[in-house]
Chains A and B, each alone.
Chain A
Amino acid sequence: MITLDYFLILSAILFGVGIIGVVSRRNPLIVFMSIELMLNAVNLSFVAFSKFLNNLDGQIIVFLVISVAAVEVAIGLAIIIAIFRHSEKIDIDEMNLMKW
């Protein structure tokens, strides 16, 4: 008997794993992957809500989230390449050029 809360709990656990990855890793690629994990967890809860409440709007939002995630990854990886050309050092802790 799988109800809505099973999906929401799974989504919350995946989101928590993503947060821990964003906060605790140094490698910017793995930080981006953790952001993808979090976006996916949110997508899962949107689809589950859309199915259990019989409302299609949630699935439209999932499409928008997927396209925003694709653009975000492309821009982020381009920024990583630009930073690598500039400083030869890819470490989240060392990127403090714009820190006030």
Chain B
Amino acid sequence: MEIVFFVLAFILISSAISVISQKNPIFSAISLLINLLAMAVLYFLLGSELIGATQIIIYAGAIIVLFLFVIMIFGNQLLPKRDSPRSGLSLNNLKLLEIFIPLIFIVLVIITLTASVVSNVSLNELNLPVDTKPLAKVLFTKYLLPFELVSILFLTGLVGVVVLAKKQ
């Protein structure tokens, strides 16, 4: 279990760094796909099969395909002409790293101090039942209103996309 977790963590972090550092957006999209699939395997490891399957279907099946379609429509024109990083904030400009590395470090320290208070069991001691049925029960009783609101959100998004993308 530990080896699987650490291999997955390595894949996740390296593919995330690859997403933000590739010049070609297609390679970024493929790295994002690798990242999402590794995350789905991590959900399976945690024992939530429904979330993992949803992750694969929606992210890998829909969102990555959308990204690839937009890259395909625009081709190389989408790349900024001067491919230098942004003015003011860049990875070369050390200001960004000076802000973020201490911030991330502080967050990590807080997490390690507080997480053991919240829960002290390890993944091996956890009993992980298949929780699709209780999840569905909660979703359709306690969380029925947010579930219905999501459908309104989808409808709004659908209308908005058609209005935005249609030719004037």
Contacts and interface: CB of A to CB of B under 8 A. Distances in A.
A9 B108 contact: yes
Interface residues of B, number: 86
Given A29-B28, A44-B39, A53-B119, A84 B112 contact: no
B35 A60 contact: no
Contacts of B29: 29, 33
Interface in A2-36: 2-10, 12-14, 16-21, 23-27, 29-30, 32-34, 36
Give the interface SS of chain B, mostly helix, strand, loop or mixed.
helix
Interface residues of A, number: 70
Nearest to B50: A59
Nearest to A34: B20
Nearest to A22: B20
Given A56-B138, A93-B86, A74 B161 contact: yes
Interface of A: 1-10, 12-14, 16-21, 23-27, 29-30, 32-34, 36-37, 40, 43-44, 47-53, 56-57, 59-60, 62-64, 66-71, 73-75, 77-82, 84-85, 88, 90-93
